[in-house]
Amino acid sequence: MILNCTGLHKHFGALRAVDDVTLTVAAGARHALIGPNGAGKSTLFKLITGLLRPDAGRVELAGRDVTRETEVRRCRLGMSQTLQHASLFPSMTAAENIALAVQRHTGGRIRPVPRRQPHVHDRAAQLLARVGLADRGRVQVAALSHGERKQLELALALACDPRLLLLDEPAAGMSTAERTHLAALITDLPASVTVLFVEHDLDLVFELADTVTALHLGKILTTGTPQHIRASDAVRRAYLGTADREELFR
């Protein structure tokens, strides 16, 4: 198990955004997290990567308790995340954005003296190409489209060489072509990278995921194979009240 969450709670006032969540993710899995708006998916992600502290519960990465580790440390231990709303460095170009992430994880200490860093540049260029931004490196972040920012966000997360990659709605705001590219990219990731992702586009979920967890009102409804999720009444009810299966899963 690469990730073990046990009894996680996060409350905002009276709102139980994450309410006793126990979740395990197998190494190498393509694990999807689904649920209606406000289910607590993004909050759960932040508890896992350390952007938020849980009120109770435990997070283990590859058997190591990281509940008390900061997000900085968790990143160094091999977790990285893309946020639902792209969070980048607005005064910089796409290439400078990615170089910041790369220099931290490739080749040694961050030094206070200027130096040529060919390996950083190569790796940055390679990552940009991988997410489909090969010729956009010199463009300011502010001038990138919404979809391109999401791609850059993904490149930043990949630059951290994660063992566990968490993607929060990676396809939101992307064009159909960008979506296809993204799906191929995730499929092509080596098995050494475990992917946990939130996605509202269920076609994409069923295309990519080998395991799906459904979350509703902060609680896990069910976990299982895509077939199991398609057949689950609880999931259908959570999404559509009592609507019928056909509408949800075409």
Closest listed residue to residue 55, CA positions, set 20, 5, 101: 20
Site for another protein in 59-88 (CB under 8 A): 70-72, 75-76, 80-81, 83-88
Does the footprint of another protein cover residue 200 (CB under 8 A)? no
Closest listed residue to residue 68, CA positions, set 80, 82, 79, 54: 54
Cα 152 to Cα 114: distance, rounded to the nearest angstrom = 25
Minimum gap (Å) between residue 185 Cβ and ligand ATP: 22
Minimum gap (Å) between residue 129 Cβ and another protein: 19
Host H or E run for residue 19: strand 15-25
Does the footprint of another protein cover residue 242 (CB under 8 A)? no
Does the footprint of another protein cover residue 104 (CB under 8 A)? yes
Minimum gap (Å) between residue 38 Cβ and another protein: 4
Does the footprint of Mg ion cover residue 84 (CB under 5 A)? yes
Cα 208 to Cα 12: distance, rounded to the nearest angstrom = 32
User: Residue 170, SS3?
Assistant: coil
Does the footprint of Mg ion cover residue 42 (CB under 5 A)? yes
Minimum gap (Å) between residue 54 Cβ and ligand ATP: 13
Interface region with another protein, contact rule CB under 8 A, candidates 123-131, 152-160, 174-182, 198-206 = 152-160
Task: Give whichever of 102 and 195 is closer to ligand ATP, judged by the CB atom.
Answer: 195
CB 77 within 8 A of CB 84: no
Task: Give whichever of 95 and 204 is closer to Mg ion, judged by the CB atom.
Answer: 204
Task: Give whichever of 183 and 222 is closer to another protein, judged by the CB atom.
Answer: 222
Applying CB under 8 A, which of residues 49, 67, 151, 194 lies at the interface with another protein?
Answer: 49
| Size of site (CB under 5 A) for Mg ion | 2
In order of 26, 120, 188, 222, the CA distances from 102 in angstroms are 27, 6, 20, 37
Sort strands 79-82 and 164-168 into parallel, antiparallel or unpaired: parallel
- Render the burial of 13-37: b for 16+ CB within 10 Å, e for the rest: eeebbbbebebbbeebbbbbbbbee
Does the footprint of another protein cover residue 34 (CB under 8 A)? no
Write out the residues near ligand ATP by the rule CB under 6 A: 12, 15, 17, 35, 37-43, 84
Task: Give whichever of 32 and 102 is closer to ligand ATP, judged by the CB atom.
Answer: 32
Calculate ∠ Cα 206-62-205, nearest 5°: 10
User: Residue 1, SS3?
Assistant: coil
Residue with the two structure tokens 């994450």: 18
Give the interface with Mg ion as residue ranges (CB under 5 A).
42, 84
Contact residues toward another protein (CB under 8 A) are 12, 16, 19, 36-38, 42, 49, 51, 70-72, 75-76, 80-81, 83-92, 96, 99-101, 103-105, 110-115, 117, 138-143, 149, 156, 159-160, 216-223, 232, 234, 241
